[in-house]
Amino acid sequence: MDSQDVKDDLKHVLYTREQIQEKIAELAAQIDEDYKDRDVLLVGVLKGAVMVMADLSRALHAHYTMDWMAVSSYGSGTKSSGVVRILKDLDTDLHGRDVLIVEDIIDSGLTLSWLKSNLESRGASSVEICALLRKPASVKTEIPVKYIGWDIEPEFVVGYGLDFAERYRNLDFIGTLAPHVYS
Ligand code: XMP
Ligand code: MG
């Protein structure tokens, strides 16, 4: 499959590589400012947040450490249920730590809401969230998100870590899928 084929699968480009990098730099500047002199643990949620984490962490200037979790949310089809199973846990002891969860997208918010309470219950002194995208029309539970890239329409998006059937994660931009791909 060449890159032309991938473009054929997309309805339109939502955010270009340049727009994403600019947004990530803005978020990183805020985070550096807010967490001055604190030893922050960035927690990336696999697999979707890999690109956000890779670029965000390199745009930050202070000391940070990184760890990863993989969770699966039980539900019907693509819908999140809020019942979450940990597939890969952190290696880090959270006692007294300032934690910043790094996510690709907030849809219903149920997964993150569960994750935030889970990390708080391990003794973290603070747990905040940074997500590149959020779909306000789909959000079912109000969770405070300290850092948000863009609020978007409730359309399925791919690229920059986001997948459809594991494809498109490698794109350096974010786009919406053409209906012929999923119908
Ligand atoms: P909830 O509903 O718990 O779930 O906020 C968030 C997770 O759902 C996935 N998700 C998407 N993945 N394009 C994707 O590739 C999308 O438009 C999309 N919307 C939700 C994603 O795994 C996210 O972590
Ligand atoms: Mg995700």
CATH code for the domain of 77: 3.40.50.2020
- Using the mean position of ligand 2's atoms as its centre, give its distance from the Cα of residue 170 in Å: 14
What pLDDT shows up at residue 182?
A: 82
Mutate to test the pocket of ligand 1, among 11, 80, 105 (most ligand atoms within 8 A of CB): 105
Q: Considering the domain boundaries, does residue 3 fall inside one?
A: no
What pLDDT shows up at residue 79?
A: 63
Q: What is the mean pLDDT of each run of 10 residues along the chain (183 residues)?
A: 73 97 98 95 97 98 96 70 88 97 95 95 98 94 94 95 96 94 84
Q: Considering the domain boundaries, does residue 11 fall inside one?
A: no
Pocket of ligand 1 (CB under 6 A): 48, 73, 80, 104-112, 156-158, 162-163
Domain count of the chain? 1
Q: Considering the domain boundaries, does residue 97 fall inside one?
A: yes
Closest-lying ligand 1 atom to the alpha carbon of residue 49: 24
What pLDDT shows up at residue 169?
A: 97
Q: Considering the domain boundaries, does residue 127 fall inside one?
A: yes
Annotated active-site residue 9? The verdict is: no
CA distances from 151 to 43, 65, 133, 134, 155 (A): 22, 27, 6, 5, 11
Task: Name the closest ligand to CA 70.
Answer: 2
How are beta strands 40-46 and 64-74 bridged, if at all?
A: parallel
Q: Considering the domain boundaries, does residue 38 fall inside one?
A: yes
Quote the domain boundaries for residue 134: 17-154
Q: Which of 2, 32, 55, 107 does the annotation list as catalytic?
A: 107
Q: Considering the domain boundaries, does residue 134 fall inside one?
A: yes
Ligand 1, atom 12, residue with closest C-alpha: 162
Q: Considering the domain boundaries, does residue 31 fall inside one?
A: yes
- Using the mean position of ligand 2's atoms as its centre, give its distance from the Cα of residue 16 in Å: 20
CB 109 within 8 A of CB 143: yes
Closest-lying ligand 1 atom to the alpha carbon of residue 111: 3
Q: Considering the domain boundaries, does residue 168 fall inside one?
A: no
CA distances from 149 to 72, 125, 179 (A): 23, 24, 26
Contacts of 113 by beta carbon, 8 Å cutoff, 6+ apart: 82, 141, 143
Task: Name the closest ligand to CA 47.
Answer: 2
- Using the mean position of ligand 2's atoms as its centre, give its distance from the Cα of residue 102 in Å: 9
pTM of the model: 0.93
- Using the mean position of ligand 2's atoms as its centre, give its distance from the Cα of residue 163 in Å: 9
Task: Name the closest ligand to CA 77.
Answer: 1
